[in-house]
Structure 1
């Protein structure tokens, strides 16, 4: 029923009259200016009709377009879609007459939203794409136009997501988020991080999915949206089930079920019940699974949520099959297929898929044409500035050449330093004193006619020498090879200690020492130091333990522990000797480890820890070598 202008005026506030009078005098051209005056009345259909009539009398097309768009949104939200569509079409026509791109894009997006809600996917996508293409013709869009671009991108992304075109959907959502960051639109960022997470989860790419759900949760916490926080926690729990973190998922779902009941959101409650059932199936608790799934199915049916009815039937089918009741399982499976078919319009989806491919192809062709035009422009500029470009090019070549020479010089110096370190390490491993004493010990076995021991240790000595020579030619070796080398070394050295040294190796945490790479020949100097400075002057049991275990932050820890006299006592004994044994191997090893650290995200390092008993008496030394694995 139509009302007269007089009838509108009777229900019109003084504030609206004043704002509308100002509007009709200035007749602004931008959405922001018009909305700034009329925004308080955008949900009042009587006031909007008054604005429309006054704008018609003054022939102010944009005022009419604004009022018609807001009226259309009121009808749309009341599910009066045909009336809403008619109002939006009128607003679009007026926007074209007024030559306002802002209002044209805004009206196109509103029309798209009506088609989307009525499942006319093809028309919804058409209008969103038209809106986006039109908006992208503006070089410096206003904030209002940016919001319309966001709406277009989100509508297209949602359609692609529905059609399982996940990479295209993610690209649209990420473009939308870049604009939402510019506008500090935290709600938009929360929604789109959730959308991106769902796209990744649908492709079983779980880590990026979890990252995006957590980012979405942060934004929902900032804006304090209880519903948003519940949905994000549900999404996180959903990923946890896929990752096998079943109990963590159940804890999150049960906690958020209570919160969902507090806000009485039937859709969320239904979804959580069904997913709790799914999680309990994975946990093997079929009684709890059945209880939750049946609760979810009952709610889904009472609220006519076809997608959740299908989901509940699917999991109930799986549950009864696991319980060996194939008749019930098949019954639920038939119900699942029935509801799945109801929510699938294969003809419409095929048509839209074809349209998507055509649209993306046309977009790429347009981009190629623009690139060709830009290339032509650049070519003309290059022709005009040819001399300057040649000079710049020559200068750049010279600069690059100089930088390359400096870089190569730096690399050569580094390689030279590394070679020097390797040579020093080899000398420390193969020092004449060690070779002489080892051969002398073997000779003593021969003199004493201990042929078996002589042959045994001679074999070990030759194998050790071969391993040291082989390792010295390699930049890195496996930890397994290094451990084999040091065991040979300790066997040889133990001859000189009359086999008093108890040397043990422990590998913990199921570590595969064959897959861990370390610089070659780094452990022997620490063992040598423990032998000759820690244990050589000690009476009683002499122990060296080598332990390999997992440390924190991606490190493998190699721990060498001796029960020697301690560093302070060893230093005093060393000072009292006429012939002092200088330990250069450890210093060289530390320098080699520092040099290797350049190739890793983390760095090798060494801790030396003095050990004391309860009465602060020294009881040995512990070396901890931290080996990065990432």
Structure 2
């Protein structure tokens, strides 16, 4: 069963985190001061704002109440600075509640009022808050821009905590983008701002560095940094930090397959989190422990921990983790030995997991729940329900991949932007140096040389910029190519699932099961091939043969096929993009062979030959060719697979500066279709 690992990601604002007891002590002190101060003046506004900030850690609803009271009083007093701070405190408390849209709205107001009041430090802090909101809404470029602007102000004001937090939070954004080198660079810069500091903020940074190494699967370093963070948390008495670090260390042990050590640390984290009373953290520890017991085949203990986790998550707003815990509980129930039928309970848990995922809005959680339901339906022989659930699962997988693709392109865009900034900065430094030399020398000759040198430098920089732009364009093209390759899989899957659906509709369960087995083999090969930009021609032809055999059986052997290969072609050594020919063959089957009802003379011929430096691939059939009359409109609709293939070919031509071509001839001698695809001949050796 899939491990549920929930490491903690730290986002700090402007002060060191302290224990819950210290926060409550501060709240009590501020409340007492507020009760004694009865005047409706600016001092009361400041007290309300301080109380609102103290509350965000333990009770953001109370924090919002105090911040709104501060805003109302500041507005009556025309106290702009106090009003700016009040909106900033609202933003922090909305952020703590996970209400990102409201947090964004109030941070925008805080920024506007800080500008009016001339409070530069407050303005920078509000920028940091808005960046956190951008991060929560996955607007990563906007988050980085706000952090950069805030960082520049913090440096100008020589405000170390702000500088440290800006570097740390920028690192968190890059961590979300899987840009580990830049994330690590920012975390290390943050750790050097206050070297030797023994604070929770410093521990947070060390823990984040540990997360980078954990994601890079460099587990010894990840373990070392989490231990360093733990020591600092222990020295300052930060109980939540201690619990988080223990959980992170347990995660590293878990990923290193050291289950016994992982269990010890998860149990320690659970003990502390129970004392603190954080339900979400308690439930996370319980889930991880339950999964460990499940993997050790101690199903009774696993059930005990997972049921408690589900109960706690149900009391929180964390629907996505509730979905994960329910799915783990269903998987555990399914594996438990016993004579009673557990299928009904497993299905109910999986449906509850799906419902929670839909409430939480996580495509990944919904996809996992649907896949589990599909397997349960298939085991019960409910093939139509299994098929429907699997289709939805595949659609969500495509959504998840597209999101990952968007993040990859965004990461490349950020990388390109940073490189351009470095070039501009270096050019500006060089220009200023040359100007100073010209002023000191005061020589017309030097001025002429300066002009010539600057012109040459500009030309060189233009050439560098053009090269960078070309490299970036190539990177994006490669990413787009990966996307198109990945989209071929759902396209192929849906057509095959429709065929299975046809058998199910006809109540031909035996054939449907046989087709499912063959389809699974095809899918495994298609997925394996999709990881590569190019595969040996022999592998692609093997896939095509299996695909044609399956489709011929589906159509009651109403067509035959031939594959003719030029003897000069070394199929093991010739490389070809995977699934490039399949859409044309599919088109011949679905639009050429399938409409020939009642005949058995269909023939699809696939020919491959060499011509100069090209590989010529021909797919020819004697199908119905162009349709007419009532079916004319249907025929005009372009195949999605053909469109994807044409897009792939266009990108390949642009990337490799090649002359690949596609020609489709219809209505040959009154029937049939011929497709000729020419590709640059590429050899593995």
TM-score by length of 1: 0.47
Bigger Rg, which one? 1
Higher RCO, Cα 8 Å, sep 6+: 2
